[in-house]
Amino acid sequence: MFSREWFIYVFGRWILLSGIAGAALQVLLRSQIGIPDFPAFLLNQLLLACVFWYVDKYIFQRHFGKVKDLFKFPRVKGQFDTKREFTKITEEYDQFAADFQKEPDNPQAWLNRYLDLYHSVEMMERVLRDKGIDVDREYHRIVEDNRKRGLYE
């Protein structure tokens, strides 16, 4: 939680930008325009929210991108379990393998089957996440194991 990024966000965004901008805007609204304290505070918060919506959106763009990239396909309707998804993965793999073997050097001939396989694997991950399985922890463990083995650049 207390990462470098967190400190920059808390002190840079909240204390410096929001705090100073909020205080300055409050003084401007109250003393220069003559709006009473409480309405000035509410207007101050509304104006800052309108500005900082875009600031926060920019700041968290990288993080939100990761969430969007987690699943490329929409959720399929229905109730699914791991056995059903395992069967689906097996079926999709068999179809992909058959098309790939026919024309391995022509991705256009097997790309659709590959993406169907990818979709079925993605659905298995959704089922696991829905069951409360910590997929991310296992993912990070695998990455660390592979990094220790020198598999990454």
* Confidence category of residue 61, pLDDT binned at 50, 70, 90: low
pLDDT at 94: 97
Other beta carbons within 10 Å of 29? 20
Burial category of 96 from C-beta neighbours within 10 Å (exposed 0-12, middle 13-18, buried 19 and up): buried
In this model, does residue 76 exceed pLDDT 60? Answer: yes
pLDDT at 91: 97
Rounded distance, CA 2 to CA 72, Å?
31
pLDDT at 63: 61
Q: Are 75 and 68 in contact (CB under 8 A)?
A: no
How do residues 115-153 score in pLDDT, each as one tens digit?
999 999 999 999 998 899 989 899 899 999 999 999 998
Lowest mean pLDDT among 36-40, 58-62, 66-70, 139-143: 66-70
**Four-point Cα dihedral 115, 120, 123, 125, nearest 10:** -90
pLDDT at 143: 92
The rounded percent of the chain whose pLDDT value lies above 90 is 41
Rounded distance, CA 21 to CA 29, Å?
12
Q: What is the mean pLDDT of the chain?
A: 86
Burial category of 64 from C-beta neighbours within 10 Å (exposed 0-12, middle 13-18, buried 19 and up): exposed
Q: Are 110 and 103 in contact (CB under 8 A)?
A: yes
